Chain A
Amino acid sequence: MAIGTSTNGNELKIQVEGRFDFSAHQEFRDAYEKADAGVGAYVIDMANATYLDSSALGMLLLLRDHAGGDSANVKIVNCNPDVRKILTISNFEQLFAIE
């Protein structure tokens, strides 16, 4: 599982490749914790993510907490049907903007 990051103004985009599971834990955290201060918006790009499990959901919650909790601005984009289904079952669209 690989994580790529890119910045556009104050928006941090994190690309998730392959299986988004517990093994991605440290890399994912580093991606947002080690970013420069002043990031106001986060975009998680799932275009190349093949799989999402409950620990990945947990990691998204951690990111949301880091990004300000209820006031966080976190978008999850380019989900394939499998990923979308998992997010829907968990009702995560109540916490994140999902496209």
Chain B
Amino acid sequence: MDTSVSASAEAPLKILIADDNQTDRMILSAIVKKMGHAVVTAEDGLVAVEQFKAEQPDIILLDVMMPNMNGQDAAVQIKQLAGEDMVPIIFLTSLQDAQDLAACLDSGGDDFLTKPYNKVILQAKINAFSRMRRMNSTLTKQRDVIRANNEHLMHEQEVAKAVYDNVAHSGCLDSPNLKYMLSPFSVFNGDVLLAARKPSGSMHLLLGDFTGHGLPAAIGAMPLAEIFYGMTAKGFNMADIIREINMKLKNVLPVGIFCCACMVNLSFRKQEIEVWMGGLPDYYLYRSKTGQLENVASSHLPLGVLSSHAFDATTQKFKLDLGDKFYMWSDGIIEARSPQGDLYGEPRLQSVFKNNQDPEQLFDEIVHDVNHFVGESGKDDDTTLLEVTMIDEANLGKAAIDLTSGAVNGPTDWRMAYSLRGDTLKTFNPLPVMLNILHDVPTLRSKSGELYTLMAELFSNALEHGVLGLSSELKKGPDGFARYYGERSKAMAAMTEGSVEFVFDHRPTEKGGSLLIRVTDSGKGFDYQKNIDNQFKSEGYSGRGIPLIRSICESIEYKGDGNIVEVVIKWQTDIS
């Protein structure tokens, strides 16, 4: 068996041997060269340092006692020159005392080799240090890659923050009736604060608090802000906007990510505030006359949780006097922590209000109190606070309507025809499909219940009274409905030809929009009376749900042979 340590399979190293004795140098060189490594020698400490600079050895064998500069001093200099690079130094010593040996290591050596030199041990140590050196080199490279990636990420976040600031904190936050405090790190805590004037002069505000932190939380703010600004500028009402935002976030955000939000419509003309809150702690309404605080609570789930059909856009309305204030915040205020770890909490906040002498100082007092509480720990980084005051609209200045931001969601000027014929008319219910298309129009979304009722009525009229020719007279009497539906089944089974066509014509108007629905059936029609005041009193009209239709539509008109009916729905988008 070969008792010698085989030369390692890795690349040959360069080893510096520093010893003032020639025989030592010769023997050590022979051992090291036999391992397949290259050798560089030095006869004292000074030369050792010079050789290190010149030759960049991988490992150093260093005698302790040498003239001109001893081993320990040489070791200190070499380690300094090596810097981050790991260059193992093995002291050569005839010392036996444990304390002396330890002192060698303390001075900067990595190991020692005692005389007489044991070839096997020296080779094993060289191999071990070679492995350590390679590992150190790998770690350093990995660290450098990580460091570069990290710098890259930090830079990207700065860019993201710049974009975010342009989107998420703009609008008319500098209006005279608003005071706000915004965390400088809001990219990282997902807070959004938006303010914009409507064409009517009212002011929309939105405070949003996305779950999570960092870029994922901030990304949801983009579509939210686009919708808010775009629809506000076009005069859409608050309920439509919040519904639209919820739908967008529900589509865009993964399950589990949502946005707690408060949206406000401040109407100066009506001296009223309208509030929608989802998932946020209580906000305060401050009455300037009495100094009293009223709690306004969230009654909704956060945005992005519910699908459109389940979403509730119901708002709370409060009349305001001049000088009344509404306070909105992210949970960073209530949950701010002192250096000792205490929570700021509601009681402290309420006492700021109680002790206040001048309402115009309230905002500053709150900010000051929170900052004071939080102290040096700087945890106020997470706070967003907004104070909204009801003022005279004359003091507000003109609304600068920003029409450049955001596309209007949904089409406003379009026409669509949809008809069913023959067997399809017998078996297929067209209402869900058509409602789906109408659903694409933001303002019609809030009317989807009414529209469904309306279209169901118009369709059943067209199909049953028109195509099938059933008389609504059949419905009268105690067995009326049973008889009617019996006849209906028979007539449906017998039908071979027939058609019902829906035409939708949607147009924007000065104040909002209008939707015309025309339903044409292939039946014989009926003798409708062209009445100037449209009383719809003749027999032929009964059972056609006219009162219901009239409650929804602006107008209803029969045309042709009575087999065409036209209804018009109109709406105003900016009345508040």
* Residues of A bordering B, CB below 8 Å: 54-55, 57-59, 61-62, 65, 70, 89-92, 94-95
Are the C-beta atoms of B212 and A91 separated by less than 8 Å? no
Q: How far is the CA of A90 from the CA of B281 in the complex (A)?
A: 8
Residues of B within 8 A of A89 (CB): 279-282, 297-298
Closest approach, in angstroms, between the C-beta of B384 and any C-beta of chain A? 15
Interface residues on B, range: 20 to 34
Per the 8 Å Cβ criterion, residues 242-291 of B in contact with A are 255-258, 260, 278-282
Q: 25 A-B Cβ contacts within 8 A? A: A54-B211, A54-B212, A54-B260, A55-B211, A57-B258, A58-B211, A58-B212, A58-B255, A59-B256, A61-B256, A61-B258, A65-B255, A65-B256, A89-B282, A90-B260, A90-B298, A90-B301, A91-B279, A91-B298, A91-B299, A91-B300, A91-B301, A92-B301, A95-B301, A95-B305
B257 touches A58 (CB 8 A): yes
B99 to chain A: closest CB distance in Å? 48
Instruction: Write the nearest CB–CB distance from B422 to chain A, whole angstroms.
Output: 37
Known: A54-B211, A57-B211, A61-B305; 7 extra A-B contacts, CB below 8 A, are: A55-B211, A55-B212, A55-B256, A58-B256, A90-B302, A91-B279, A92-B301
* Minimum C-beta distance from B24 to chain A (A): 59
Docked complex Cα distance between A57 and B212 (Å): 11
Chain A residues contacting B282 (CB-CB under 8 Å) are 89
Note all chain A residues with C-beta closer than 8 A to B300.
91
Residue of A nearest to B302 (CB): A90
Most chain A CB neighbours (cut-off 10 Å) among B255, B281, B299? B255
Measured between C-beta atoms, what is the minimum distance from A13 to chain B in Å? Answer: 21
- Interface membership of B128, Cβ < 8 A: no
In this complex, the member of B211, B255, B256 whose beta carbon has the largest number of chain A beta carbons within 10 angstroms is B256
Shortest B516–chain A CB gap in Å is 35
Interface residue? B54 (CB, 8 A): no
Minimum CB–CB distance from A86 to chain B (whole Å) comes to 9
Q: Which 10 A-B pairs have the closest CB atoms?
A: A58-B256, A54-B211, A62-B256, A90-B279, A65-B255, A91-B301, A61-B256, A89-B281, A62-B255, A58-B211
Chain A residue nearest in CB terms to B300: A91
Complex contact A58–B258 (CB within 8 A): yes
| Nearest chain A residue, comparing its CB with the CB of B297 | A89
- Residues of chain A lying within 8 A (CB to CB) of residue B212: 54-55, 58
* Min distance, Cβ A24 to any Cβ of chain B, angstroms: 13
Q: Which residue of B lies closest to A60 (CB)?
A: B256
Cα–Cα, bound, A67→B300 (Å): 22
Given contacts A58-B212, A89-B281, A91-B298, contact A70 B258 (CB under 8 A): no
Q: Least Cβ distance of A55 to chain B in Å?
A: 6
Complex CA distance for A11 and B436, rounded to whole angstroms: 37
Q: Which residues of B contact A62 (CB under 8 A)?
A: 255-256
Distance between Cα atoms of A95 and B298 in the complex (Å) = 15
With the chains together, A93 CA to B411 CA distance in Å? 36
Chain A nearest CB from B48 CB (Å) reads: 53
Give every chain A residue within 8 A of B301 (Cβ-Cβ).
90-92, 94-95
Query: Any chain A CB within 8 A of the CB of B310?
Result: yes
